[in-house]
Structure formats: C-alpha cells, structure tokens
Amino acid sequence: MADLAEPQPLNDTQTAEKLLTLLEALRQEIQPGRTSAAPVSLDSSLDQDLGFDSLARAEMLVRIEQGFGVSLPESLLMNAESPRDLLRELLRAGRPADGQHSASTPEPQLQSTESDPLQAKTLQQVLAWHVAAHGDRPHLYLYRNALQFETISYRDLHNEAMRVATLLLSKGILAGQSVAIMLPTSREYFATFFGILLAGAVPVPIYPPLRPSQLEEHLRRHAGILNNAQARLLVTVPEALTVSRFLKTQVATLQSLISVAEFNELEAVEFNYTSQSQDTAFLQYTSGSTGNPKGVILSHANLLANIRAFGQALRVDSTDVCVSWLPLYHDMGLIGAWLGSLYHAAPLVVFSPLLFLARPLLWLQLIDQHRGTLSAAPNFAYELCLSKLQEPQLQGLDLSCWRAALNGAEAVNPATLRRFSERLRPYGLRPQAMLPVYGLAESSVGLAFPPIEREPLIDRVQREPLMRDSQALAAADDESQALEFVSVGRPLSGHQIRIVDALGNELPERQQGDVEFQGPSTTSGYFRNNEQTRKLFRGDWLDSGDRGYMAGGELFITGRSKDIIIRAGRNLYPHELEQAVSELAGIHKGGVAVFASPQPQGVEQLVIVAETREQDRQERDQLQQQIQQLCLTLLGAMADKVVLAPLHSVPKTSSGKVRRAACRELYQRDQLGRGRTALWWQLGRLALATIGPQIRRSGRTIAEYLYGAYLWMLLAVLGTVVWLLMLPLFNQRWCRSLAKKAMGLVVSMSATRIDLEGVEHLPEHHCVLVANHCSYLDALLLTAVLPPDFGFVAKGEFKRNPVLYLLFRRVGAKLVERFDLQRGLADARRLAQDVAQGQSLIFFPEGTFDRIPGLRPFHMGAFAAAAEAGVAVVPVSIRGSRSKLRAGSWLPRQGSVQIRISQPLIPEGSNWTEVVKLRDQARSQILRSCGEPDRGEE
C-alpha cells in the first residue's frame, strides 16, 4: 500500500486558497475554454456551479489527498455539497490512531476447514454451524477506510446479531414481519441482517441516501418499497433518523425507527427462532432499471441452493479469499459476496462502494495484500479502473492470486474484458481469470457461469440477420459491422435455461429469443404483487426479461426485452448505441439513454438523451450531428430526437444502471434537465407531503383508541352481567357454559376473527391441555372456542382479588402458588389428583408472559399430572394474541388470532424421564406452530 505524502503545515487561509486553486484547475480540465463561469468560492455548488459528477468527485478526492497528504472519509464523495464541506474535513483530517490495524499489515492465511454446513437448511443454521465448528475463525475483514480495518469472527457476528434480535423483539417485532435495513457497509449492517433473521423476521435491504440533493426522490422511492414490504421497523444510522421520520408518515405499517446506537443498550437474550427451509429469508427489491422496484421473495432453500451451485461452479472452499466492495443492498454483494463466503468459510475482505469510487486502486491493492482469489464487480468498475489508474500506481501489484474476476450485474462489454486483461497482465492477472457471468435476483443471484480457467468466449455475429430475423449467424473475421456478444456460460447445476419465441416455443441454437429459466434457486414470486408475479411465470418457467441465444450449449445475452426498439421490422438494441455515444468527446460517459417514446399517432419515436457540459451552440450542434451519424451507422436509421441534457439528467438505479423507463417518463413530461432542487425546498415539500399521511395516521390512532375503549367497555358490561348471573349458580358446568357464550359474544362483537384448527384432535375423555401464553386474552379466547369441559390453572395471586376469585371458583379454575415452594408442591399434587379423578385442565406451562415474543421454558407440573394420571396431553398453539394485547399495554388492537390444536400425546410412563420427554414433545409441537422464536435457554 503506497504511503501518503507527508502533510504540509498550512494555516486555515492558506489551506482554503490551495483547495480553491486545486478545484479551479480540475474544473478547467473538465470544462476547457469556459470563461463565463464565476470564480470558485467556498460556497460554490459542486454539482451546479462546478459540474462535478461522481467520477469528477472521485478524481477531486484523489487530488486533494495527494496535494495535502491526508486521508479523507469516502463519505465526502457523495455528501459534500460545496468546497466549504471539503475544507471542514480537510482541517480536521489526520492519520489513524495508534493501535489500529493498518492496511499495510496483511492477515495470515487461514487454514482450511474440514467441511461445509451441508445439512443446514436455513441461514441461521449456517451461522450456528460455523460458530460451533470454529467460532473464532475470522469471517470478515471490514475496512472502514483505506488505512483501517477490523476483524469480525463468526462468534462476534452471532453475539452482535443476538443483541440486535433482542432489541427487535423488545420493540414488538413478530415472526414473519418485515424489517428494513437502511445502513451503509458497516459492522452494524451484518449484525442487523442476521439479528432480524434470529428474531424470525424478514430483512428488507434498501440503499441509504447518496446525496442531500437526491433526498426527496430517494425518500419517495423508498416509501413505495416500504409500503409494499409492509415494513414494521426501519434500522438506520443516527444521522438519518431525522429525515427517515418522513418515511414513517408515508408508511402506514412503520411503527418505529431504530438507530444502530441502540444496539449496545440491551443485554442479549439467548433464543433462536426455528425457521423452515421454505420460509422467506429476505426480500430483495429489484433495482428498477426497467420499472418500479419489485420485492423478490427468496427462501432459505432458494439461497442455499444457489450458494451451493455457484460454489460448485467456482470450486469455492475455505482456502479462498473473497474481496468485495459491492453494496450489501444488491443481490450480487449480499448473496454472491457475503453469504457465499459465509457458507464456504472463505474470509471476506469488504469495504464500502463509496470507498471504491473514491479509491478504485484500493480494490486491487486489497486483492494483492490479502491474496484474494475471488472478486466480482459490474462492468463499469473494470472500466473505472482502466480510466483512473495510472501505471505508477500499479507498480508492485501482484494479482496472480486472483483466479476468478467475475463480471456481471449489467451488460458485459467484450472490449472491457480484453482491455482489463491486457492492462493488468504485467501485474500477474491471467486472462483465464476474467469470468463473465449471468444472474438475476429472481434466481437468487446466479444462473449461468462459464467454465473456470477458460478465457472469455466472445462471439461475433452478423448485424443485419440479427436485427431483421433474430438469427445470430457467425460473422467473418474481417466483417467491420459485426456485433460482439460474450458467453456467460452454462446453467448452474440443477438449473435450466431455454430460449423461446413470442408463443413460448423453444428455439434452436443461434436463434435469438426470450431467455427463460427454472431451478431450485428460483423465486416463488414478487411480494404482494400478483400482477407482476403472473407476468414472471410462464408455466413452469420464469421470464428473465432478457433476450439472448444459445450456441454450443452456452448462453449469450443480447439485451433487455423491454429495451428493444422495433423500427421497420428491425430490432434495435439501445445499449450498443449508448456505449458508442458515451465515447464521444463532450458527452458524459455513462450518461446516455436510448429509448422509444410512443406518440399519439400510434408510432414510436427513437429518442437519444445524452448528458453534456457543453454550452456553446455550435459545439452542441456538432455533437448532435455526431450522434446522428453514429445512430445511422449502428442502427441503419437516424434518431427522431436527440436531447442534449445537463449532467445528472439520466436517472440511474442504485447499482448504476440507466433507468430507461424513468428517463422516457421524464422526457414525456418535459422534465429532463431540470436542476436539482435545493435541500431546504426538498425538505419543505416533504413536510407538506406528510400532512395528509399524518392526518390519516392520527385518524388510525384515534380509531385504535376508540376500538380499545369499546372492547374494554364490552368486557366490563358483559363481565358484570356474567358475574351477577353466576352468583346464584353453583353448577360448575352451567357457569362454564355461560362464560363460553359471553366470550363468544365478545369475540363476535369485537370483530375478532379466530381461525381454529384441529378440534377433531380433542380426546373424548378427560385430558390435560397445554398452551403457549402470549397475552391476558389467551384464557378468554380459549374459553370462547373450547368445550365447557375444561378448567383453567391460574396463578394464586388472583385470590387477592375477591371479584375475580369468586368468578374463578364458579368456573372451577385451579389457583396455584408460584413463589412459595412448599405450597407450590402441594398444589401440584392436588392438580395431579384432580386430573386422576377425571377433570380436564388447561395449563399455561410457561407460567407467565412478557412483551418480548418467544416461547419460554415449560414448567413440569402439567406433564407430571398427566403422566401420573395416565391421560393425554394436548398441545395448543396460540398465534396473534400478543399483537392484540401486549404485556405492559392496556390498549387492545384489532386483529385475528390463530388457535391450532395438535394431536394428543400419550404418556408412556410416570417416571421422571417420561415426564421430561412428554414436556419436550409438547413444547416442540407448540414451537413449530406459534410463529415465535425459541427462548428456551432463558
């Protein structure tokens, strides 16, 4: 790792002057000949006044660090709005404190592990397997900046995830509910993701705001995602809490916002939610490059099938080292890099995307330093390295360890593969390491991989037959107009790919059509989006949304189906033209969108939008002519409209893909090129936008309080009537029947839906019924649905309340002592005698409940009584009552409850071993059905 230059001693004024001089020089390079611009000042806008886009900002950061000999936080790349922000950080910049890990000190290579968690069926089981097998083995080398990193072991990850899960459960999260993660790449991100899983909830990764100037669009876009996901909680950084509160007003289900600072405020509670392989592991929202984001449902089985399949294709084992800067809200970074390395015990060297954009050289340096063998990136990342890295910076690199440089997540450019391989060949990179791959979120990230240790296979096809007849005919070597496509290999093990025409008929080789796929990694659909799910499935096959052809059994992707433009019977592919236009001098590289715009007459216009800083009329006219000439050369037709737009006009996804559909919409609304709105105005509009949702939220809150008051009034009135009617009654069965009718009336009048299953499992003779305990409502709900043959076992403290004590005596409830050991044992013997004499009793063997979801340990009394009497134990699971009335709250809420009666368990003896076995069997059945985590270790 190259050392930074020694910092020069400058005062504040000198530092500011030197900074402004540096920025002015960079602006002159970007906009040569522009003399009308105002001088650069500390309050100039980096976007509007200086025209610094993402790449220019990255260059700016490099020059500042080199010029001043400091290391600046990569967050400046997106957060800095003016030179004053840069100066503020520059003045307090310094070197890492003593004792920090230094990036110049490589970690020792780890020993290989004996096996992989082949029997694991969920991600939680994968982590638990690694903790048990080698808990202190380093899992992550997390770089906070270019000079500092921290090591996180499997045990560290598990312990921190447990703390997060405890916090989530204390906030009332229930199994199956969605929790959104809006965090940058950080230690907290990894702990939060697994903490949500351990709590039985569903993680929903979303990307944090990149720039204040994009805040309004970002929050509005995320509001749609969170509403679709029905997110209950949002975990974010403390700095984002203020603006994130806008989301709370827009998302009806969002109950609270959690700062990562809260993670250390609670002691972790040991528990584990028992997930099944088909349960949803997380929701992966698509980037929205072709439309609105959709939540892809990915189960544990989907993910593990994919991880095992691409691990087999890449021959991954624990001796590999993965290096990644990919964002963790994107499937390639989350599944491909992190979860893949987690499964195979291959350590992951990880740093943030912003750090990569600011210092692309760091990516290659960390591969060298940690002897990285696997690293993936989209095509633009390889291009960024080619354009930004100079030969002196590359000196000393040894990339011979890099055996799989995966290129995916966006269109793979054949020229990029060639140039990157040739450029880095002197530094040890072998051509066989370049690995173009294909995948999509709907297939849990990976779908097709080429053979490893083979140079990329590039196919040259004739342009006209492909555009006119969709035939990918091989082109002669000297054909100048040939199109080039890269093979992304063959389907992963257990997966299939086919090419079909518009009628769904499978096509022969070298015939272009729609790419369809199937396999164990495929999603079951989009979350709460039946319309898009129906479009996704074509019988047993799924539509990838891509076009391509097969040749020699390998897949070649030609473009996105929705992006193809049909003109005069020919298929026009926008990405080729976008790439060519981006190469023109004066056009912002990557800032080009080509799309078809429908017209009222029923025809479609071919529109090209290209970003440029050029203001001179003559230069702009020349650019338009050059673009039209390229269009004519590549497509055989001129564009109907060429729009030269300011920087940042072309919308992109979080992963950098051009959002053509969004660009078309802006074009049709005549909103292309509108300047970025000031932050204060964005916040003002967001505040106005919250008024309506806040009124609706307040209305819902008032409705909830009214419902709660109504339910308590109903219980009070009916409870009084029942109590008065029971006073003269001494027939226990009559009293129970009266209580059952009253509770049934409460359930009906309160619009509480009870889904009851398994009534047929109740024995004809007396038995012991055991149920989990979530709420004070549990006894009332069981009274409403069970036959009036059962008496409840309740805590002895009710004896102190004469009103309730009389009611309990009338219905034959058994009150037991919980705190006096001697009296408690006497009560237990009495209960065993009652059961032996033919009474059916309902026990809550947990003994108590609290607001944190989870099945607590069971006491032995119910099972000892059943075993001694030789009667069946009937497990009953109650689900939903905790949400309806949570411990510590007196506000009941509307909602449904599920009650499931399982098959009876027959005791095989009365000795202690059989009693324990009976308890464990009953608890296991209830745990599978109650939908809450296991708190059995408490």
Residue 152 has pLDDT above 50, yes or no: yes
Place of tokens 């290989």: 112
Q: What is the pLDDT of residues 266-306, one digit of tens each?
A: 777 776 667 889 999 999 987 544 446 789 999 999 999 99
In the chain, where the domains are located: 12-92, 119-127+135-275, 458-562, 565-680, 698-930
Q: Which CATH number fits domain 458-562: 2.30.38.10, 3.40.50.300, 2.60.40.790, 3.40.190.10?
A: 2.30.38.10
Residue 315 has pLDDT above 50, yes or no: yes
Strand segments (E) across 351-509: 374-377, 404-407, 434-436, 448-449, 458-461, 483-486, 490-491, 496-500
Mean pLDDT, rounded, of the chain: 83
Q: Are 493 and 312 in contact (CB under 8 A)?
A: yes
- What average pLDDT does the segment 301-325 reach? 96
- What average pLDDT does the segment 348-352 reach? 95
Query: Which among 510, 508, 446, 438 is positioned nearest to 473, based on CA atoms?
Result: 510
- Percent above pLDDT 70 for the chain: 86
CATH architecture of 565-680: 2-Layer Sandwich (3.30)
Q: Please give the structure tokens belonging to residue 264.
A: 């250390």
Indicate the pTM of the whole model: 0.73
Q: What is the pLDDT of residue 2?
A: 37
Residue 219 has pLDDT above 80, yes or no: no
State how beta strands 496-500 and 490-491 pair.
unpaired
Q: What is the pLDDT of residue 794?
A: 82
- Percent above pLDDT 90 for the chain: 38
Kindly state the DSSP code that residue 410 receives in the 8-state scheme: S
Q: What is the pLDDT of residue 4?
A: 36
Residue 708 has pLDDT above 70, yes or no: yes
Which is higher by pLDDT, 487 or 674? 487
Q: Are 650 and 593 in contact (CB under 8 A)?
A: yes
Rounded distance between C-alpha atoms, residue 519 and residue 694, angstroms: 45
Q: What is the pLDDT of residue 94?
A: 47
Q: Are 331 and 50 in contact (CB under 8 A)?
A: no
> To the nearest 10°, the Cα dihedral for 616, 619, 623, 626?
170
Rounded distance between C-alpha atoms, residue 651 and residue 671, angstroms: 12
Domains 458-562 and 698-930 share a fold: no
Q: What is the pLDDT of residues 789-827, one digit of tens each?
A: 888 888 777 677 777 777 777 777 888 766 555 666 677
CATH 3.90.1150.10 fits 12-92, yes or no: no
Q: 3-state class of 27 per DSSP?
A: helix
Q: What is the pLDDT of residue 109?
A: 65
End-to-end CA distance of the chain: 48
Q: What is the pLDDT of residues 710-724, one digit of tens each?
A: 888 988 888 888 878
Q: CATH topology for 119-127+135-275?
A: Rossmann fold (3.40.50)
- What average pLDDT does the segment 181-209 reach? 92
Residue 236 has pLDDT above 70, yes or no: yes
Q: What is the pLDDT of residues 562-612, one digit of tens each?
A: 766 666 555 666 777 788 888 888 888 778 888 877 766 555 678 888 888
Which is higher by pLDDT, 178 or 77? 178
Rounded distance between C-alpha atoms, residue 168 and residue 160, angstroms: 13
What phi, psi does 206 have (nearest 5°)?
-135, 155
**Top-ranked range on mean pLDDT: pick from 40-49, 272-281, 426-435, 828-837:** 426-435
Q: What is the pLDDT of residue 440?
A: 93
CA angle 503, 508, 510 (to 5 degrees): 110
Rounded distance between C-alpha atoms, residue 87 and residue 21, angstroms: 13
Q: What is the pLDDT of residue 811?
A: 77
Q: CATH topology for 698-930?
A: Glycerol-3-phosphate (1)-acyltransferase (3.40.1130)
Residue 385 has pLDDT above 50, yes or no: yes
Q: What is the pLDDT of residues 106-126, one digit of tens each?
A: 555 677 776 789 999 999 999
Query: Which among 382, 282, 387 is positioned nearest to 334, based on CA atoms?
Result: 282
Rounded distance between C-alpha atoms, residue 934 and residue 574, angstroms: 53
Q: What is the pLDDT of residue 493?
A: 93
Residues in the chain: 938
